[in-house]
Chain A
Amino acid sequence: MQNPIFSVSEFNEMLNFHLAQLGEVVVEGEISRIDVSRGQWLFITIKDEYAAVDVFGVAFQLSGWRALEEGMKVHVYGVASIHQRSGKFSIRAERIVPAGEGAMKIAFERLRSQLEKEGIFDISRKRETPRFPQHIGLVTAKGSQAYNDFIKVLKHRMGGMHIYFSAVSVQGVDAVDAICAALVELNKRDLDVIIVCRGGGSMEDLAAFNDEKVVRAIFASRAPVMTGVGHEGDVTLADMVADVRASTPSNAAELLVQERAALIQEVDSYCEQLYRTICQQIIKKSHHVEYAQTILAHKLQQTIIHMHQTIELFLKISNSMYRQKIREKMGNIEQLERLLTSFDPAHVLKRGFTITRNELGQLVRSISSAGSQLQTIVTDGTIYSHVHHTKKN
């Protein structure tokens, strides 16, 4: 049987058809060359001790490609294919992830420093979670220890909350996309906070939480994000970008809500405080009233005393003034009396003066009115006499 003759195009097509039957392959190798064309296409060569193979990738489809560097051991997930026009064989990569702890650490550091430069981890953009979150998004694996721990601790601490749970795979091929999609979906709701958590694992297990796409999805989240990934010591890039980082899923629940007992105690202490202050106020006010009463009584007493004193003083003053007046009046009267007395003709007669009248009874003040007979009144009687003669001075 004669071999069929292919055109070059047919041959390449035929090879691609057969290669496609392989489905996704994962090839481990060390990067020996990495070229980025116009920031869009990646041309990589990976090798082991004995062989090399080319890898082609589209930059925007390869999350975290910037972390890749020559000498790094990677796992390339992709399909084998031949470039139709050039006939060059390569693995068309869908995902390239650092392999092994060493490579992953290097990739982690590179991505971390790049994102840090972009300001993605800036403290200034961290948001606080509300004190009383009521609507909580939860992104983790269904039935996982992380889920159980979070729900259990949350329930123990506080009730009456609504949890919107989005089940995702937290490791493996689908993890990155699933976590990103869950964040987008939950952000369509008006949530107080979104918790992204998973239990501990190796660095490889936690790879999705060090993935650039996940980091950016957390960065873009409308609701504040709290992470609780791995064990105490594990810090992923997702933790760094999150608004709040809890060390474990249980710790996330602890940081998210205060314990009801503590809150009830707080409410009780508020009540006590209110009661105490109002009592103090009442006591204070009643003291005020008592004080006011005392002051008032004292004032009243003082006023009465003062009034008494005033009256007494008035009486005293008025008495003395009255007496003075009387004295003055008396003095006047005495003076008048004296004056009057001095006018009394009897007194004048006593002093040797006499009153002389003529026979007509007229007072004789001059020799012309003397007439022939005179009556001379002295102090003890009247002398009747005849005028002998008169002589002018």
Chain B
Amino acid sequence: MVQYTHMSTTRKKTDASLAKAFEELEKIVAEFETGDIDLEKGIPRFKQGLELAAGLKKRLRELENEIEEIRSRSIEE
């Protein structure tokens, strides 16, 4: 049980990072596409976009999936 609690907290973090990073990147691209960018603010945002992209690509290149076997109660009985 303790193990799952621990897992669920770390899990939320990774979930958020992947989906959110993608969303954030899309948002930045949209900002750049539509708006007239203030270069002073735009350049840090551009940098942030590139960092997000690099993180995402690293994450997407992960090869393995972890498999955990779950036994349901009726089977255990």
Contact = CB atoms under 8 A, between A and B. Distances in A.
Contacts of B26: 270
Contacts of B28: 274
Nearest to A284: B36
Interface residues of B, number: 42
A168 interface: yes
Contact of B50 (A184, A260, A274): A274
A274 B11 CA distance: 30
A130 B72 contact: no
Interface in B51-77: 53, 56-57, 59-75
B65 A151 contact: yes
Contacts of B75: 167-168, 178, 181-182
Interface in A298-343: none
B64 to A, nearest CB: 5
| B interface: dominant SS | helix
A132 interface: yes
**Size category, A interface:** 35 or more
Interface in B4-60: 4, 8, 11, 14-15, 18-19, 22, 25-26, 28-29, 32-33, 36-37, 39, 42-43, 46, 49-50, 53, 56-57, 59-60
B72 A184 contact: yes
B56 A186 contact: no
Nearest to A190: B8
Contacts, number: 127
A168 B71 CA distance: 9
B53 A270 contact: yes
Interface in A264-287: 264, 267-268, 270-271, 273-275, 277-278, 281-282, 285
Nearest to A133: B15
Contacts of B50: 271, 274
A131 B62 CA distance: 17
Interface stretch (A108-116, A154-162, A231-239, A244-252): A154-162
A263 interface: yes
A292 B54 CA distance: 38
Nearest to A273: B29
Contacts of B70: 137, 164-166, 182, 185-186
Given A186-B70, A278-B43, A155 B11 contact: no
B32 A273 contact: yes
Contacts of B67: 151, 163, 165
Contacts of A164: 68, 70
A263 B18 contact: no
Contacts of A285: 39
11 contacts: A132-B19, A160-B64, A160-B65, A164-B70, A166-B72, A184-B72, A185-B73, A264-B60, A268-B53, A270-B29, A281-B36
